[in-house]
Structure 1
Amino acid sequence: FPGQLNCDLRKIAVNLVPFPRLHFFMTGFAPLTSRGSQQYRALTVPELTQQMFDAKNMMCAADPRHGRYLTAAALFRGRMSTKEVDEQMLNVQNKNSSYFVEWIP
């Protein structure tokens, strides 16, 4: 997306899945920490990516292991390599290919 910081959720949904009836967001958030937690530790891209798709980090009452993803979008913030992010997202897709549909028309 051009101007990634200025896009909204509606635009993301429309651009990822061409069928409006299939626009269901399952938002994962990482790192998910409690408000009182004083410890801070820099996480690597693989750790963040793994946490994003973990059922414990989902912002809805659904387990992603009991369904299939049509597509996924990951928005990262901070200092990290775009190459490393691309590699990790490809790794997630290859490792968990049974959770993703093969093709969207």
Structure 2
Amino acid sequence: MSGVTCCLCFPGQLNSDLRKLAVNLIPFPRLHFFMVGFVLLTLRGSQQYSAFSVPELTQQMWDAKNMRCAADPRHGRYLTASTVFRGKLSTKEVDEQMMNNQNKNSSYFVEWIPNNVKSSVCDIATLTLIIFL
């Protein structure tokens, strides 16, 4: 939950709050199945820093290996999605990458909910992340 709630604690360019998450992620009260993914998990005490671009982060974000549950997203479809990026990023590049990903993988998204991917950008990066633009 720290990734989801970082926009509540830190400043950002495209902030979201819990109300926006609930409104945008739950299209119908009976369809509320969350599947959390997280990119850049590191070992505790590791002093290693990684450099990733927005396209690399976006590609990893939708990878089944980075999901925190035993469900494989390739065997179903996304109703809605919310992405939270952390660090000094271009919101234009984030929006472009999310649109490219959604167009490229359109078979994994339902067509009857338009604009079903929302993104947020929190300016404060995690301790293990350096992004080169």
The alignment of Structure 1 onto Structure 2 pairs a total of residues equal to: 101
Cα distance in 1 between the residues matched to 2:74 and 2:43: 25
The structure richer in strand per residue is 2
| CA RMSD in angstroms, aligned pairs only | 2.0
Deviation at 1:71, TM superposition (A): 1.4
Contact 2:24 2:80 in 1 (8 A): no
Taking structure 1 as the reference length, what is the TM-score of the superposition?
Answer: 0.84
Cα distance in 2 between the residues matched to 1:18 and 1:56: 26
The alignment-based identity, stated in percent, is 77
Give the structure, 1 or 2, with the largest relative contact order (CA under 8 Å, sep 6 or more).
2
Cα distance in 1 between the residues matched to 2:108 and 2:42: 26
Deviation at 1:83, TM superposition (A): 0.5
Which residue among 19, 28, 35 is the counterpart of 2:44? 35
Cα distance in 1 between the residues matched to 2:59 and 2:43: 19
Unaligned 5+ segments in structure 2 are 1-5, 9-16, 115-133
SS, match of residue 36 in structure 2? coil
Output the amino acid matched with 1:12.
L
Taking structure 2 as the reference length, what is the TM-score of the superposition?
Answer: 0.68
